[in-house]
């Protein structure tokens, strides 16, 4: 994997809106935090709205392509998730990105952009979007800045709960994943995330349990889960049936992902909840289910 150059305080970073519409108030709070560390580059276009998108495909793609090509920009932070990145992936030049990589930061719908970067052989950072930065604890913001700036592996995730102990021994592998809905939709595309031998991390929001079952079953039927090394589950916020009936999300995740002879743990502070710790996407780590830890062996940046 290619690791993009690290940032430093004052680094020039682009803020883009390649997915859903960006609420001004939440953006202003997050931008103040991010702008206290780096020099932000963006314009009024990020507040455009075209239905459920932050402007039409041409505008969003041109903004992202321009940021990727701008030699003065050292990283790209996504303003918000939502939906829309899959619509413009085929407009991005992966070969050019691999030649001049820069750090990509975001989560949720940005899972699609992380998958695109992974296909180009470049690590990225699964971390808060700008509109979430004002809602996560200060230590998560500090962890984001450290992950952007340090070539040393981040501190381990601790306190993980065993869902399935698997073979009962730690595993070392590349860590990939993100939003379950987006990952399942990437199946059959050039940007389907390769999961053979990987530690898969997942999170989601607002998906009813039967939909989570369908997404995981899609991945199973595609053979994507056949040779996983392990699974780390983050938050699944609001993933309940409207009437409270049936199995909950945790039960579905355990049934669909357990029983495969691999460690499955839950409780990672990632996703749409109160915490969202930065994770180096595409970096290697050691998952020890018995100890409840995911210890990083690599960072996202060089």
Residue 108 among the catalytic residues: yes
**How does DSSP assign 84-132, residue by residue?**
-GGGGGGGS-HHHHHHS--EEEE-GGGHHHHHHHHHTTB-EEE---HHH
Residue 261: which residues within 8 A CB-CB, separation 6 or more?
166, 167
Full DSSP string of 158-184? --PEEEE-TTSS-EEEEEEEEEHHHHH
Known catalytic membership, residue 272: yes
Distance between CA 9 and CA 252 in Å, rounded? 43
Q: Which of 42, 74, 108, 281 is catalytic?
A: 108
Q: Which helix (H) or strand (E) holds 264?
A: strand 264-266
Gap between the Cα atoms of 294 and 297, Å rounded: 10
List, in sequence order, every residue forming a beta bridge with 122; answer none if it has no partner.
2
203 is catalytic: yes
Catalytic residue among 74, 181, 203, 298: 203
> Considering 272, 281, 298, 299, which one is annotated as catalytic?
272
Residue 188: strand, helix, or coil: coil
Catalytic residue numbers, as ranges: 108, 203, 272
């Amino acid at each position: 994997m290619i690791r993009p150059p690290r940032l430093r305080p004052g680094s020039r970073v682009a803020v883009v809106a390649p997915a859903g519409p960006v609420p001004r108030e939440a953006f202003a709070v997050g931008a103040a935090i991010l702008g206290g560390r780096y020099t932000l580059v963006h314009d009024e276009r990020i507040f455009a709205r075209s239905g459920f998108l932050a402007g039409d495909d041409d505008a969003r793609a041109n903004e992202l392509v321009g940021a990727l090509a701008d030699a003065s920009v050292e990283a790209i932070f996504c303003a918000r998730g939502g939906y829309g990145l899959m619509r413009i992936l085929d407009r991005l030049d992966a070969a050019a990105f691999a030649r001049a990589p820069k750090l990509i930061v975001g989560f949720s719908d940005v899972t699609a952009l992380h998958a695109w970067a992974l296909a180009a052989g470049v690590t990225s950072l699964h971390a808060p979007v700008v509109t979430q930065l004002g809602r996560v604890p200060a230590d998560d913001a500090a962890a984001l800045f450290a992950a952007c700036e340090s070539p040393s592996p981040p501190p381990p995730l601790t306190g993980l709960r065993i869902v399935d102990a698997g073979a009962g021994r730690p595993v070392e592998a590349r860590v990939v994943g993100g939003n379950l809905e987006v990952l399942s939709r990437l199946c059959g595309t050039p940007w389907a995330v390769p999961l053979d031998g990987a530690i898969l991390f997942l999170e989601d929001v607002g998906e009813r349990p039967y939909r989570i079952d369908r997404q995981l079953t899609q991945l199973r039927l595609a053979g994507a889960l056949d040779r996983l090394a392990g699974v780390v589950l983050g938050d699944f916020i609001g993933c309940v049936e409207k009437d409270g009936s049936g199995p909950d999300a945790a039960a579905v995740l355990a049934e669909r992902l357990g029983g495969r002879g691999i460690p499955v743990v839950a409780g990672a502070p990632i996703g749409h909840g109160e915490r969202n710790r930065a994770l180096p996407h595409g970096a290697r780590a050691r998952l020890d289910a018995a100890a409840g830890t995911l210890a990083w062996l690599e960072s996202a940046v060089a």
